[in-house]
Structures are given as structure tokens and as C-alpha cells.
Amino acid sequence: MSVKNKVVVITGASSGIGEASAKLLAKKGAKVVLGARRESKLQQIVTDIQQNGGEAVYQVTDVTKRADSQQLVDLAKKQYGKIDVMFLNAGLMPNSPLSALKVDEWERMVDVNLKGVLYGIAAVLPDFTKQKHGQIIATSSVAGLKAYPGGGVYGATKWAVRDLMEVLRMESVQEKTHIRTSTIYPAAIQSELLTTITDKGTAKGAQKLYDAYQISPERIANVVAFAVDQPEDTTVNEFTVGPSAQSW
């Protein structure tokens, strides 16, 4: 089953990887359902897709609210009659040393990066289980593969996503529901992640790194499209992707 005519729900769709993936998948013939908090951005992306001959709808979505994730899935089914792929991409990265005790930011990362993924899975899993097919893709990070000073809580949420997705893959095999999973571990990708960093020292170091190495989110969109395009009997479970010049 190719990308064409698949219904793909994307969270964190208003910029970066989510926006790039939505536009590429729509160009390849998918019907995309976009969720994020910024309505004006979503409106513009949907307009761009439609003007280029694609199909897209959106709904303002806060992934920290379980009902919002459910409503986004419901919109996909109402608009297009089904759902084939859930791309759980929303995330934020307000990194800082643990000693800075930015507990409010820790909680926000847990809410968005981990609970947001859990709520997305909860919203789509009953349909995928019933129809015995479907695909869940999640954006983790290279910080979900190795530890980085300043990224303790961010990394913890991304390690959790890694484990969660692997267990989901294994359980779907045991339960014979045929749900495919793919976890993406991006390195320095041009996005709005750095704008969430309030710790000045951490922000300065991250900006220097990204200025030197970052590649466009379209590179990750290509990986997302590749994963979606695989035959239903094939799971490509993990992708680690980043600048060829960066020693992540």
C-alpha cells in the first residue's frame, strides 16, 4: 500500500518536521489531518496544500489534553472515513541543567513529549486494533539514544518514547493486530525547538551547535514518507537521522 490515498494524522503540524511531512505526504497523494495549537499556521499550511492540489484539513489541538487527541482522530474519520497513519510529532525542548530546577519546564516536557504521545496512541489504538492494520510513527530524538548534559528531562521523555514504541510493536505482534511502528531519532534539524530554551547558557550552546550543523526538516519528511510507503507486511522500526557533518 503506497502513500497515495492514505489518511495521515500529524500532531505538531504547524512548523518544522510536522509541516514538512504534511506537505510532502499530501504531494504524494495522502490525505493529511493536521493538529497543533496555532490556528493561523495550520490554516496557511492547509491552504498551501490545497492550492497545490492536495487534500488537508486541520483542527486546533493541544496534545496535553486527551480529548483534543481524540477529536483529531475523530475528524480524520469524519472527513475521510478512515485513518491509516498517526504521526506523533509534537514536542518541545526547554533544556537546562538539572541544578537550575526549572521544574515547570520539566513538567511541560513530560506533558507534551510523553503524555502527548500516550494520548495519541490511546486515541487511535481502538480503530487500529479493530481494523487490524495501521501505523504509528513517533518523533523521539538522538537524546533518546544517548545522554547529553543539559538534556536530562528532555532526554528522559525521549528515551521513554523509544521504549513505549518498541513495546507497542511487540504487543501488536503478539495480539496479531498488524500495527506498524516507526520511531525517528533526529539530530540537529532546523525547527522551533531552540525557541523554548530559557536557560541562557544552554540556549547559547544549542544555537551555536545548530548554526553549525542543522539540516532542513524536509530531510526528516523524506524519512516519514519512506516509512509510510512500505508494504503492509514490512516495519522499519527505527530511523536515526541527522547532518552528515555532525558527530551526534
Residue 134 belongs to a domain = yes
Cell numbers standing for residue 122: 490511546
Residues 6 or more apart in contact with residue 173 via CB below 8 angstroms: none
Q: Quote the number of domains for the chain.
A: 1
Q: What band does 2 get if pLDDT is binned at 50, 70 and 90? A: confident
Q: What's the domain range around 22?
A: 7-240
Residue 247 belongs to a domain = no
Residue 246 belongs to a domain = no
Cell numbers standing for residue 215: 539540516
The pLDDT value recorded for residue 222 is: 98
Model confidence, pTM: 0.97
End-to-end CA distance of the chain: 34
Q: What is the 8-class DSSP label of residue 233?
A: T
Residue 245 belongs to a domain = no
Would you give the distance in Å from CA 86 to the centre of its chain? 9
What is the pLDDT averaged over residues 115-137?
98
Write the CATH number for 227.
3.40.50.720
Q: Which of 247, 231, 225 lies closest to 239, judged by CA?
A: 225
Kindly tell me if the per-residue pLDDT of 141 is higher than 80. yes
Residue 80 belongs to a domain = yes
For the beta carbon of residue 146, count every other beta carbon within 10 angstroms: 12
What is the pLDDT averaged over residues 55-68?
98
Residue 248 belongs to a domain = no
Q: Which of 57, 53, 12 lies closest to 32, judged by CA?
A: 57
Catalytically active residues, by annotation: 154
Cβ atoms of residues 154 and 102 within 8 Å: no
Query: Could you report the per-residue pLDDT of 8-31, keeping only the tens digit for each?
Result: 999 999 999 999 999 999 999 999
Residue 217 belongs to a domain = yes
Query: Could you report the per-residue pLDDT of 232-246, keeping only the tens digit for each?
Result: 999 999 999 999 999
Residue 98 belongs to a domain = yes
Kindly tell me if the per-residue pLDDT of 1 is higher than 80. no
